[in-house]
Amino acid sequence: MHLRNVFFAILALAVVALAQPATVDAPFQVRYAANTTFGESYINITNDGANGAPLLGPGFGDQRGNICVNVYAFSPDEQMISCCSCLVTPNGLVNLGVNRDLTSKTLTGVIPTSVVIKLVASLSGGTPAGSGTSCTNSAAQVTTATLVPGMLAWGTTNHLAAAGGAYMVTETPFSPATLSAGELASLGGRCAAILGNGSGFGICRSCQAGALGAAHK
């Protein structure tokens, strides 16, 4: 191919790549975890700074760009079994364990062997926006007005290997999904009922700092 044609072909590919919508850090992301009795499944979450960040880092000047990652766990029969929220600062990194944090004290008292995990990102409060340092009860109060991009999440799960009966651990990103008004209202409403009436049951433990990898028995 002529060098000039190669140049224009590369340029065309670059234009197409730039035109693709950036949906990876969508405010609503979903994933599952399976075979949890055979090992822990971890969720790793970061804030990519889409909503801003402190100019000189978190130790100097105002906080800004903070997000609340609102977490909702469901059993396979559609019941919300726990909810909670985590503050994630720009460039920060946190983790949750499905067994350790999401199903250790479920609303129903039943610990399922697989779960659906839904994450919704909202901007923390304060002035300027995103300068809040607490996400208490935000999973029950998130609205379309507070939804923001900037959340990236990955999760591990256990899969039965083809031979030998052993389990292997895989890690993949959460999938961006469409969040309807009805689903958002349902997530917030059911979480509010858990916080208000669950006597502590169904409130998952908040995130811990850092990322975690594979874990199996």
112/103 Cα distance (integer angstroms):
8
Percent of the chain with pLDDT strictly greater than 90 = 62
- pLDDT score, position 3: 46
**What's the pLDDT tens digit per position in 158-190?**
888 776 677 888 899 999 999 999 999 999 999
Under 8 Å between Cβ of 84 and 208 = no
Range 92-115 average pLDDT: 94
Reported pTM: 0.85
Question: Which has more confidence, 202 or 19?
Answer: 202
pLDDT at site 63: 82
Confidence of residue 215 (pLDDT cuts 50, 70, 90): low
pLDDT value of residue 161 = 77
Given a cut of 80, is residue 58 above it in pLDDT?
no
Predicted confidence at residue 168, as pLDDT, reads: 85
Q: How confident is the model over 92-118, as a mean pLDDT?
A: 95
Please report which confidence band the pLDDT of residue 12 belongs to, taking 50, 70 and 90 as the band edges. Answer: very low
> Which amino acid makes up residue 129?
A
In Å, how far from its chain's centre is CA 2? 47
Q: Kindly state the tokens that stand for 105.
A: 């004290």
Q: Which residue has the higher pLDDT, 215 or 28?
A: 28
Residue 29 predicted with pLDDT over 80: yes
Residue 155 predicted with pLDDT over 50: yes
Q: What is the pLDDT of residues 109-132, one digit of tens each?
A: 999 999 999 999 999 987 777 889
pLDDT value of residue 57? 79
According to DSSP, the β-strands at 42-47 and 93-97 are antiparallel
- CB-CB contact of 59 with 183 (8 Å): no
Higher pLDDT, 74 or 38: 74
- Phi and psi (nearest 5°) for 86? -130, 135
Asked if 124 and 147 touch (Cβ cutoff 8 Å), the reply is no
